[in-house]
Structure 1
Amino acid sequence: MNTVDKVDSVFLFILTVSVILLVIITFLMVLFVIKYDRKKNLQPKNIESNTVLEIIWVLVPTILVLFMFYYGWTGFKSIRGVPKDAMVVKVTARMWSWLFEYENGKKSKALNVPVGRPVKLALLSQDVIHSFYLPAFRVKEDAVPRLKTYLWFKPEEVGSYDIFCAEYCGTGHSSMLSKLIVMPEDDFRKWYEGEAVSEERVEVEKMPHGLRLIEEEGCTVCHTTDGSLLVGPTFKGMFGMKQKVMANGAEREIIIDEEYISRSIKEPNADVAKGFEPIMPEIELTEEQIKDIIEYLKTLK
């Protein structure tokens, strides 16, 4: 049984019990209002307590709640118990995008998986608390800085499904979206091993390496390359320009050169451009990757 069946069975059980109780209680309330209307009983009688009834209305709700707990607990154990043959995908959450990394080192901005095979997602956060939410599979788990969390699911139908962030994480929270792409095993194997050639892949391979890096690392969620502003300054025309920055509460003017860009990647909140919030997370890049990014930024005149 997969996560969908477990969650749905518990939900339907609780919903069914709730509807039955709602109907019974509402019926009795209406009946008693009519039957025991005060105008028909001007001299109320003293009603003694009924021990049997008191025991019944304590035991019945207790038994129902225990059944709900049992179904919920067995479902919880199933959801937390990852199948041994599950494919592991590392999921990195950062403001405001998702990055998926496979066991062979392949990275993608969409989660591609084969149909009929359980998938374990190992969640990590680079900055603040995010929450990976896959509603079609009834799973949601927080991605917390310096804490390893996980979830699993088993896709049984080919298709495309929405991925959301369900924890408010800043101004770009609503745009922290991605897709789960479930494909046949053969198609996934070709994609995983790099054999599939799609228009999207051709376009990616045509990109300058620096542009590809800032796309993969989620930089374009906060910075544009066309001059428009988001939560961070635009990359267009930035190299070589003068910029006022705030450092430890003091304002100073710098020239955006290779040294400043390199430092901003390694220590993003050391010298923050004036007028912008210090919310950029640290990004682990090699010196060669930083150099490629700088060379690309030089071309954005």
Structure 2
Amino acid sequence: MNFALELLVKAALEERIAHLLLFHSGGANERRQAGLYLAQALNCQSPRADAPCLECPACRKIHSGNHPDVQILKPQKASLGIDEIIHWQERVYRKHYEGKYKVFILEQSDRLTLPAENALLKVIEEPPERTIIILSAQNAETLLPTIQSRAQAVYFPMSGEEIWLDSLDSSINRQEANEAFQLSGKDPDSAQVILELDVAKVKHWVNSFWESVKERDFLKVFGLFPVEKNEALIYLQVLAYQKCEDSRSPGAILAINKALDQIRRQANPRLAIEVLALELFRQGGY
């Protein structure tokens, strides 16, 4: 447990915790487990001086995912939209069932759409009593500054490759997992998405894109589609990481990051990628 989280757990046990927390960086599973541990500290029926007991009914229910006052919300699609947040708000304002605190963990909150973020602000500004909201994000900078400024941030150091590999299900091919980790720029969350999309598919798309840019062949760009939003985001993240390794390409990195931001803000993935390809053509190809 990192030092910031230790202080947070201590504050939880003393019931003097902020109502909005922002867990960022590290791995999604690490942030989730930290959020559940904090929920145990808040609702433990027999807490120790510096930690929840982990053995009382409340702690066990939270660990098994069966506590009615501790809930996890994650995107069902590539983004976390306003409809999901509005439905989630209804649960936030319900009365407590059995716990001292309600705890809501919003996973991949860096995928919130702009309307969803604005809806979330309404809850943040008028939080229900004894309710803790934890935003879990790989990249906190994508959230609105007004949300960031209202949250107590907790940074999680990036997990090492072996730690991440060991956390995976034994059925996952270790060599493919290693490739995914390298393609992602050693980002556990992105590596997990690459595994889900298929490592070979991601490598083929990225290589095809660079080939079209190198040859300045816009017709080859057409062969990269159709592409879903979640695919486009991970493909561009891989492109950005590859260019970060090349100090001669600052313009390319800026162009890729601009395309990523546009897609996150609901731009058409095909249009954003086509504009990116034209910009890279203009900069001089591969």
TM-score (normalizing by structure 1): 0.23
Q: Which has the higher helix share?
A: 2
Structure of higher RCO (CA pairs closer than 8 Å, 6+ residues apart)? 2
